[in-house]
Amino acid sequence: MKDLTTNTTGILDRWSRLPLALQGFLSVLLTTALLVPSIAISQWSGNPKVNNLISNAANDQVNSASVSDGAGGTIIAWQDKRSGSNYDIYAQRVSASGAVQWAANGVAICSVDSDQVGPAIISDGSGGAIIAWQDKRSGSYDIYAQRVNASGVLQWSPSTGDSVCKVVFDQVNIAMVSDGSGGALVGWEDYRSNAGLGLADVYAQKLNAAGVPQWTSNGIGVCTQADAQHGPRIISDGSGGAFLTWYDQRAGNYDIYAQRVSDIGGLVGIADGVAVCTSGTDQTNPDICSDGAGGAIIVWQDFRSTTDIDIWVQRMSPAVAIRWPVNGIVMNNNVGYDQINPKLVSDGVGGAMITWEDFRTGLTSDIYAQRVDSTGVVATGWNVNGVTVCVAAFNQSNPKIISDNNHGAIITWADKRDSSTNGNTFDVYASRITGEFALSWTANGVPICTADSTQTNLTAVSDGSGGTIIAWQDKRSGSYDIYASRVFQSGTTPVEIVEIAPQAFSLDQNYPNPFNPSTKIQYTIGNAGLVSLKVYDVLGHEVATLVNSNQDAGSYTVPFSAIGGSASGGNTWSLASGVYFYRLEVGSFVSIKKLTLLK
């Protein structure tokens, strides 16, 4: 009690010393914050047999891919056959509260004649997304891309998508990651050499924020070696370039190779890639994550034991040199039977969290996990054979993994435990494993979707608060639709759906925040009137007027830069790093939020 009294007295004393203008400003801010109702996460369905419908347009919607919208929600893309004749690409944004933000059943990203399939998606860094896909409009598959902003409006011209690569023969199996500057790094399998059935090469391209290719037209040949290269995976190298890995048949059996492409399109490693693992027999199905130091950690499934398949890893330096023992380190101590389909994510301290599909019972597949530290050693306390994530009845398969933003991971998978009563179909489950190998959610996972029929092709993103939003294709209606659900950091899902009346007036948090040098402020007004949007410093002094005019009812987005002037030619400003406040006033409606400039 003494501490509380002392602290309270100190706070009041410091408050009394503040300038009167600042006291008044902060009082308004506090009062406004207390009067504005907090909106609970309440539009997500907490019933795993209900979930949130994203699209149930005619015919099938399949192959979903998703990314965070940067505000606690997600943007989901998929291939869509609502036209009845061919697949198109559609997308939808879902808010942190579970409300769809764009047109019902999604916005058309590309709906030209012929098929558009296999979407990949990344954030554009401004609340929207860049989406790439395989496109057959020319007769063979090419690579196209489009950018959609936070409001669901297409940004690149032509509206049918920018061509990333449209040379002869097929370009397929897209891998994509942000370049860190609003653009994209894209990799793919490429058959332009026409060397023979299944003999693909690996190519890559960089797109800037305007969709303009930055490297050689139609892409750089990352590996054009004879024989087959398949399954490219890509990450940013943190310097505007890309790290890629793939499995490669140049030696007769499949091996794992890697290459880094610099920000200007130069190959860092030796031509056609650097050997990650060339052990006898096959190594396939690689995945890759950053090591946090400009290099990469690569995982794959490995047949070297000749009696079963195991999980192995290797770390590559920024110069594309191996960092750990030649041909890698085993992650499951060569446990009998097969371990397949590995996925990994950075643990945030130079190592990685890994998950896979595990048949060690000899009968059905389960989900296991492992953590490797930055030196290539199984992390302290972790079982050298891997840690069980789910060993429920029947099969658990196709695991996906994302960071929990606290050195652990959230793993989701397709689960057949209820197949005896649910028509031999898959459901969706998820679990969280901490960096100290504790399973902090329900044993064998939290049920995300247990609706009738089958749910497959899962994709998951962070909700920014230690939880996840999961999307999948779902056949409960007879054809495939797209559904989604959210699970919180605690492993709980919302209790019920509560309808929330739309807010006639609202002021959103600026994005990005913190920002340098520019950000965007969005607001909605329910009635026409005089709108005032101003920015203040922490002393309560007005530093910028962004809006001071009559506006009709609707939603508006206003850009704000550290250096600028009002559209009407009024005040100008040049702001230093620090905390500022922006205030929206429309009639009796007043709302204030904080923004931070970091130079």
**Could you report the per-residue pLDDT of 188-232, keeping only the tens digit for each?**
999 999 999 999 999 999 999 999 999 999 999 999 999 999 999
Q: Is 232:273 a contact under the CB 8 Å cutoff?
A: no
In terms of Cβ atoms closer than 10 Å to its own Cβ (0-12, 13-18, 19+), residue 307 is exposed
Q: Residues 6 or more apart from 274 whose CB is under 8 A from it?
A: 257, 258, 259, 316, 320, 321, 322
- Between CA 562 and CA 546 the distance in angstroms is 12
CA-to-CA dists, residue 2 to 7, 10, 12, 14, angstroms: 8, 12, 15, 18
Sign of CA dihedral 81, 85, 86, 91: negative
What is the chain's mean pLDDT, rounded?
90
148 exposure class (CB count in 10 Å sphere: 0-12, 13-18, 19+): buried
Helix ranges restricted to H, 333-475: none
Name the pairing type of β-strands 255-261 and 129-135.
Answer: unpaired
Q: Where are the alpha helices (DSSP H) in 337-471?
A: none
Identify the pLDDT of residue 599: 77
The Cα–Cα gap between 121 and 128 comes to: 10
Q: Please, is 4 exposed, middle or buried when counting C-beta atoms within 10 Å of its C-beta (0-12, 13-18, 19+)?
A: exposed
**What would the two tokens of residue 36 be?**
């504005």
Sheet holding 352-358, edge to edge: 339-346, 352-358, 366-372, 387-390
The span from the CA of 30 to the CA of 528, in Å, is 27
- What is the DSSP-derived secondary structure letter of residue 154? B
Contact between 175 and 184 under an 8 Å Cβ cutoff? The reply is no
The residues of the chain scoring below 70 in pLDDT are: 1-42, 422, 495-503, 566-570
The pTM score is 0.78
- The single-letter DSSP state of residue 51 is -
For 257, list phi and psi in degrees, rounded to 5: -125, 165
The predicted pLDDT at position 39 comes to 38
| Residue 529, pLDDT score | 87
Q: Rounded distance, CA 127 to CA 150, Å?
A: 5
- Residue 21 phi/psi, 5-degree rounding, is -65, -40
Q: Which pLDDT does position 566 carry in this prediction?
A: 63
In our burial notation (b when 16+ CB lie closer than 10 A, e otherwise), range 465-500 reads: ebbbbbbbbbbbeebbbbbbbbbbbebebbeeeeee
Owner of token pair 């639709």: 481
* Partners of 535 in beta bridges: 544, 582
Q: Is 413 exposed, middle or buried (0-12, 13-18, 19+ CB in 10 A)?
A: buried
Bridge-based pairing of strands 52-55 and 88-94 is unpaired
Q: What is the pLDDT of residue 554?
A: 82
Residue 268, phi-psi category: left (phi > 0), alpha (psi -120 to 50), beta (remainder): alpha
- Cβ contact 459:475 at 8 Å: no
Given the structure tokens 């446990």, which residue do they identify?
A: 335
Task: Say which residue the tokens 């749910």 belong to.
Answer: 455
For residue 547, count other CB atoms closer than 10 A to its CB. Answer: 20
**If you ran DSSP here, which 8-state letter would residue 100 be given?**
B
Contact 231, 173 (CB under 8 A): yes
